[in-house]
């Protein structure tokens, strides 16, 4: 089974990742992976740390001559900031009492993490719980995308709203749910809920040209001002992003067992991204307020193309825990980052038990654009895992044979 493990601290020497059971014969383009890593580091509202780092993948094993070999893949992502933290990250030297952190920042892993692991220095928790780890996940996701590209599966992501601005509110979404046809009107500044086509040429150019990864240029300036204002106040903002996947064959995942469901796995992959507090598939939360007759995506058949299709996609491409051939659409909400530059938050010193204010530390004001890239990678991993469960083989050649046979079978030609 495809799996991966990550290790590394935010200010340690770097991040180490191992991917196991990745098939042989997949072409790997380092520039493609580095491009995704650079995107994750970009975005309006990020902190000073990103000026220090320039993430580049360094394979240690499993890739040779531009192709995967079938052996475990391992890679290293260097933390350049380590040079500034050598003293505080030393492997052996004991740390003085003054350098230790005893005041947990609300919203972070600090509180539960230090109690759970019986650590007397919160730095041990915050170093590992940091979103720095998402660099590893983005590289893994890019590898999965490289595999799935061989089957025409494509990914796109965008930021839908930040700090309450944008099209994340219920009435707008509900209005658009019934008609997916109008999503074809690219460049339209009216947001189209989960029917928005992130693969549309104009929309994807907008996302590419936006420092906030927004599909609609009209919102760019307003949201930048909102982020500037939050920065002035020493505050942070969260937001919502969407990931879409197209050309996923019918039948990834299964209804036969709870832990075989594709949507369940996607939810885990996305919910485990730092600061994510909700994951929706298709119309998501709004589904709960729509009548069954309005919500369901009727099934049609296009004889000329020889394929089934839907005119709406409220299910977000997944029914009964399985892909149904439509675009898989996933939305995630990111909470405002918990490290604030002004000491607003009340907390308690775990050593003295006295009231204190959470300490300000260098941090991002808004990381939603970065999170959209991480989300894309997280979904790519889930899709790759279930794709390999279905068509699994040791090499790309074997997988292609299985895939082609299945596609013939479900189109009735076999």
Query: Which residues of this chain interact with ligand EPS, rule CB under 6 A?
Result: 10, 47, 49, 53, 81, 126, 130-132, 134-135, 339, 361-364
Q: How far is the CB of 178 from ligand EPS (least distance, A)?
A: 39
CA distance 94 to 241: 42
Phi, psi of 127 (to 5 degrees): -65, -40
CB-wise, 126 or 273, nearer to ligand EPS? 126
Q: How far is the CB of 130 from ligand EPS (least distance, A)?
A: 4
Phi, psi of 201 (to 5 degrees): -55, -45
CB-wise, 53 or 260, nearer to ligand EPS? 53
CB-wise, 46 or 261, nearer to ligand EPS? 46
CB-wise, 34 or 398, nearer to ligand EPS? 34
Q: How far is the CB of 375 from ligand EPS (least distance, A)?
A: 14
Closest-approach residue to ligand EPS (CB): 49
Phi, psi of 355 (to 5 degrees): -65, 140
CB-wise, 125 or 350, nearer to ligand EPS? 125
CB-wise, 130 or 145, nearer to ligand EPS? 130
Burial class (CB in 10 A: 0-12, 13-18, 19+), 409: exposed
Q: How far is the CB of 46 from ligand EPS (least distance, A)?
A: 7
Q: How far is the CB of 38 from ligand EPS (least distance, A)?
A: 11
CB-wise, 110 or 326, nearer to ligand EPS? 110
CB-wise, 56 or 389, nearer to ligand EPS? 56
Identify the helix (H) or strand (E) that includes residue 346. Answer: strand 346-348
CA-wise closest residue to 410 among 255, 263, 249? 249
CA distance 403 to 44: 41
CA distance 129 to 152: 35
Helices (H), 272-354: 292-295
Q: How far is the CB of 348 from ligand EPS (least distance, A)?
A: 20
CB-wise, 126 or 207, nearer to ligand EPS? 126
CA distance 333 to 240: 4
Answer yes or no: are the C-beta atoms of 267 and 276 closer than 8 Å.
no
Q: Tell me which long-range contacts 143-146 makes (C-beta under 8 A, separation of at least 24).
A: 143/19, 143/22, 143/26, 143/28, 143/33, 143/73, 144/377, 144/380, 144/381, 144/383, 144/384, 145/32, 145/377, 145/380, 146/26, 146/27, 146/28, 146/29, 146/32, 146/33
Q: How far is the CB of 132 from ligand EPS (least distance, A)?
A: 4
Helix, strand, coil % over all residues of the chain, rounded to 5: 40, 20, 40
Q: Which residue has the tokens 């890679």?
A: 75
CB-wise, 46 or 331, nearer to ligand EPS? 46
Q: How far is the CB of 409 from ligand EPS (least distance, A)?
A: 44
Q: How far is the CB of 64 from ligand EPS (least distance, A)?
A: 28
Q: How far is the CB of 388 from ligand EPS (least distance, A)?
A: 28
Answer yes or no: are the C-beta atoms of 257 and 377 closer than 8 Å.
no
Answer yes or no: are the C-beta atoms of 347 and 13 closer than 8 Å.
no
């Amino acid at each position: 089974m495809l799996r991966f493990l990550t290790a590394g601290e935010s200010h340690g020497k770097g991040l180490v990742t191992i991917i196991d059971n990745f098939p042989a014969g997949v072409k790997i383009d380092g520039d493609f992976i580095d491009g995704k890593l650079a995107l994750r580091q970009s975005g309006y509202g990020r902190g000073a740390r990103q000026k220090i780092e320039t993430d580049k993948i360094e394979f240690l094993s499993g890739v040779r001559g531009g192709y995967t070999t079938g052996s475990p893949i391992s890679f290293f992502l260097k933390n350049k900031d380590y040079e500034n933290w050598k003293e505080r990250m030393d492997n052996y030297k004991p740390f003085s009492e003054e350098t230790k952190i005893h005041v947990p920042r609300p919203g972070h892993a600090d509180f539960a993490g230090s109690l759970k692991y019986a650590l007397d220095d919160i730095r041990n928790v915050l170093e590992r719980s940091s979103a720095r780890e998402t660099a590893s996940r983005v590289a893994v996701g890019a590898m999965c995308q490289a595999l799935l590209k061989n089957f025409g599966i494509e990914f796109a992501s965008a930021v839908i709203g930040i700090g309450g601005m944008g099209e994340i509110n219920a009435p707008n979404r509900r209005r658009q749910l019934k008609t997916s046809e109008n999503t074809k009107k690219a460049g339209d500044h009216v947001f189209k809920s989960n029917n928005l086509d992130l693969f549309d040429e104009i929309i994807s150019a907008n996302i590419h040209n936006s420092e906030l990864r927004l599909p609609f240029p009209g919102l760019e300036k307003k949201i930048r001002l909102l982020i500037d204002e939050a920065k002035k106040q020493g505050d942070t903002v969260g937001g919502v992003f969407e990931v879409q996947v197209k050309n996923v064959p019918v039948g990834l995942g299964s209804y036969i067992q709870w832990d075989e469901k594709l949507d369940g796995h996607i939810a885990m992959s996305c919910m485990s991204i730092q600061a994510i507090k909700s994951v929706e598939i298709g119309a998501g939360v709004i589904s709960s307020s729509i009548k069954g007759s309005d919500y369901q995506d009727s099934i049609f058949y296009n004889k000329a193309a020889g394929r089934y299709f839907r005119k709406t996609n409220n299910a977000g491409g997944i029914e009964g825990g399985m892909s149904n051939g439509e675009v898989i659409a996933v939305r995630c909400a990111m909470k405002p980052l918990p490290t604030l530059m002004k000491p607003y938050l009340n907390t308690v010193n775990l050593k003295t038990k006295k009231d204190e204010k959470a300490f300000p530390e260098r941090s991002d004001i808004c990381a939603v654009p970065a999170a959209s890239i991480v989300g894309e990678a997280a979904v790519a991993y889930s899709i790759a895992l279930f794709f390999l469960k279905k068509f699994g083989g040791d090499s790309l050649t074997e997988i292609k044979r299985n895939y082609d046979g299945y596609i013939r079978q479900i189109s009735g030609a076999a």
